[in-house]
Structure 1
């Protein structure tokens, strides 16, 4: 947690944050959030994060500040905490009248070079994703099903949990989107299968198309994943993480594959260009 937080227009310490425990955001998890990677003190792909959050707010019928106000709140918090490499989180909580805007920033990322070199391990969770819920497209504060799945993964010695949807098809990770490579084609669960429309997921799909790779968004079974020659996970903090074992079974050669590695390098190049354009 950052030492200085942005709360409803002001920078405050944690002990100065005052939220009424009788408000919907506290009682029912009525809120939205975005987690943003920070590099060189710059919040990456900020506009895309803010557009997703405001789309969720509009669906819920909430009035929120404009993108400029939200963006400035994030930049102010990053600067106040002197975060060069790390993450920021924007939280929008429903209050008794209106909303609360809370932003945190910290100089830490939960992934190591060794993780990318070895690849992640995952398990197929017993927790199912309700892909028919209208909220499946938004990052809501009510995150219990993902927390349960992630705790299950940790108890089984895995680093991530893969959730199936109610029809038994792959949906997503507890905190990531999922991709599978087979016979030179990149597969990922279609949005109708229930994954969050992740920002890195979207960028990988566009990047793959620019590289001339075959891409298919479709319902995928656990068997499709285990039969993959490569697999990887994506989110805004991990970016592209190789996935090498699922339920103790190796994916392909149980090491980061050539297409995963290529996409990681291309993604890093694209990100570097974004950082250069933002620093001008």
Structure 2
């Protein structure tokens, strides 16, 4: 494990944050999860753009130049073929409910070795369940962002693990499927690539955008619209996207076989032309 706090590297056992830090007290953080492959951080600019957007909306301190410098100095320390890099911003120490001064802000970088799905795992596909809880966004007047208050996703992800499957999919009261606990959702239905529109309850994922751009280059019909649960189960193809797995087909939902198409493979091949394999 590699740990960097405010630009300085620490041994994991020595890394500490004060007990009055807003991340601990209130879950008041912003974060991004980046993937590095062969000592190259993939789509770093896109991740930092989203982080800055979120910071502006929440009046959250974000010193991009310092963060970029810390990430650059982290790269030579990466030893695994694939690494998962978690970048977290916190406002710093609170002594009341008032935001602390900007100078109190902190950032934390943690890098761990990671594994990508193997070709066989992609061919076999993932099993999923529907989450027992709802997707919530306490700041519903703002676009969805990656915030430290992650209880709904943690609960759903743990539910999936207990069921022995890869992912839990959030469903609304209107029986529309939104996204996974840690992923965006796509389906192919009647030849069209469909994904729920990003907004209050659906994250504008970095890999989601890469897939949409690749689909346009391939000339696919694209629709950003709600996905009904019944339509998902009848789709020719269903897959998940996030920055760590890129694209992962779904082949079972609630023990029911789904999908089987190969559009995901064409999209992954198109994206891999930009992202080293």
C-alpha displacement of 1:166:
4.6
Equivalent pair of 1:176/1:234 in contact (CA under 8 Å): yes
Quote the residue 1:26 is aligned against.
Answer: 24
Structure 1 residue aligned with 2:171, among 164, 175, 198? 164
Structure 1 residue aligned with 2:117, among 87, 90, 111? 111
Equivalent pair of 2:238/2:251 in contact (CA under 8 Å): yes
Quote the residue 1:262 is aligned against.
Answer: 266
5+ residue gaps in structure 1? 276-280
Equivalent pair of 2:144/2:200 in contact (CA under 8 Å): no
C-alpha displacement of 1:118:
0.4
1:15-41 CA distance string (max 9 Å, x none):
222211122111111101111111120
Q: Superposition pairs for residues 180-259 of structure 1, below 5 Å? A: 180-192=187-199, 194-253=201-260, 257-259=261-263
The 1:269/1:64 distance shift into structure 2, 3 A limit, reads same
Quote the residue 1:128 is aligned against.
Answer: 134
C-alpha displacement of 1:110:
5.6
CA root-mean-square deviation: 1.8
Runs of 4+ in 1 over 4 A off after TM superposition: none
Quote the Cα distance in structure 2 between the aligned partners of 1:180 and 1:152.
23
The structure whose residues are more often helix, as a share, is 1
Quote the Cα distance in structure 1 between the aligned partners of 2:259 and 2:6.
49
Counterpart of 2:273 in 1: which secondary structure? helix
Equivalent pair of 2:193/2:220 in contact (CA under 8 Å): yes
Structure 1 residue aligned with 2:88, among 88, 91, 94? 91
Quote the Cα distance in structure 1 between the aligned partners of 2:21 and 2:125.
42
C-alpha displacement of 1:252:
3.1
C-alpha displacement of 1:148:
0.6
The 1:252/1:18 distance shift into structure 2, 3 A limit, reads closer
Segment of structure 1 superposing worse, 183-192 or 163-172:
163-172
C-alpha displacement of 1:49:
0.3
Quote the Cα distance in structure 1 between the aligned partners of 2:28 and 2:107.
13
5+ residue gaps in structure 2? 94-99
Segment of structure 1 superposing worse, 227-236 or 130-139:
130-139
Equivalent pair of 2:250/2:259 in contact (CA under 8 Å): no
1:127-161 CA distance string (max 9 Å, x none):
11136724661111111111111111122232100
Equivalent pair of 2:143/2:199 in contact (CA under 8 Å): no
Counterpart of 1:191 in 2: which secondary structure? coil
Equivalent pair of 1:74/1:90 in contact (CA under 8 Å): no
C-alpha displacement of 1:94:
2.2
Quote the Cα distance in structure 1 between the aligned partners of 2:48 and 2:28.
18
Equivalent pair of 2:84/2:114 in contact (CA under 8 Å): yes
Quote the residue 1:278 is aligned against.
Answer: none
Counterpart of 1:34 in 2: which secondary structure? strand
